[in-house]
């Protein structure tokens, strides 16, 4: 049973790959002092472990790694590779692994350290599977060519040997996997607000979400 802190602000964000959700979630978390988790990076971290330690990769090994998981572990630049991303999408379909990750996510969402006013999680199934009672739910998206270009530029900055078309192909494959998997697929819930970032700057996207949060929290007095 997960212990739940009372009177905290909970923000849930779902999005396809490279839509800008991570950048927005970080900005929101910093502004409102929320405990932030990019849940997709958990699966990328697990995929990285499988590639890095294939002989040691088993349930016991995985449990110990998830138990000791820290935010700094997500800063590993290897987690951004296409190979890790594709394997992460496959791993995310496995019920046993999702069960291990689920409890970690719940604790993150509902029991943030006292120095934080709440939590903000982004991923693929946050709005309906992890924080169904979130105060704010957003579905962040952008057209696929824009998303591919963003990821391509991101990878080139890391000196990765990729082409725009290889990244586009990878994202199309990832989308197909995320939207069509049987277990916790990516989808927009009826109560999630749609934010299309295709033609918006990072600042404009943040201000749009900030306006929504400020309006409701001012009325309800949550912050």
Q: What is the CA radius of gyration of the chain?
A: 17
The pLDDT value recorded for residue 22 is: 93
| pTM score | 0.88
User: Please, how many CA atoms are within 13 Å of residue 51, restricted to the half-sphere of its CB?
Assistant: 18
For the chain, what is the total number of helices (H) and then of strands (E)?
8, 5
Q: What is the block-wise mean pLDDT of the chain (223 residues), using blocks of 10 residues?
A: 89 96 96 94 94 93 90 87 87 88 93 96 96 98 97 91 95 93 94 97 96 82 53
The pLDDT value recorded for residue 3 is: 83
The pLDDT value recorded for residue 75 is: 87
Structure tokens at 186: 């990516």
**What is d(CA 56, CA 149) in angstroms, rounded to the nearest whole number?**
36
**What is d(CA 133, CA 10) in angstroms, rounded to the nearest whole number?**
8
Complete domains list, the chain, with CATH: 9-212 (3.40.50.300)
End-to-end alpha carbon distance in the chain = 27
């Amino acid at each position: 049973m997960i212990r739940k802190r009372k009177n905290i602000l909970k923000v849930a964000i779902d999005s396809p790959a490279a839509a800008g959700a991570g950048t927005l979630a970080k900005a929101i978390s910093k502004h409102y002092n929320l405990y932030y988790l990019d849940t997709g990076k958990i699966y990328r971290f697990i995929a990285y472990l499988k590639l890095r330690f294939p002989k040691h990769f088993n349930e016991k090994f995985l449990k110990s790694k998830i138990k000791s998981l820290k935010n700094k572990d997500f800063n590993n630049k290897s987690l951004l590779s296409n190979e890790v991303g594709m394997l992460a999408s496959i791993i995310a379909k496995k019920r046993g692994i999702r069960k291990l990750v689920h409890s970690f996510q719940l604790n993150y969402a509902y029991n943030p350290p006292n120095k934080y006013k709440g939590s903000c999680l982004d991923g693929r199934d946050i709005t309906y599977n992890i924080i169904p009672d979130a105060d704010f739910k957003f579905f962040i998206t952008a057209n696929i060519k824009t998303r591919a270009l963003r990821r391509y530029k991101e990878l080139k900055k890391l000196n990765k040997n990729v082409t725009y078309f290889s990244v586009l192909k990878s994202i199309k494959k990832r989308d197909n996997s995320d939207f069509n998997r049987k277990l916790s697929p990516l989808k927009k819930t009826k109560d999630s607000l749609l934010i299309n970032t295709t033609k918006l700057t990072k600042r404009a996207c943040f201000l749009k979400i900030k306006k929504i949060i400020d309006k409701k929290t001012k009325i309800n007095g949550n912050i």
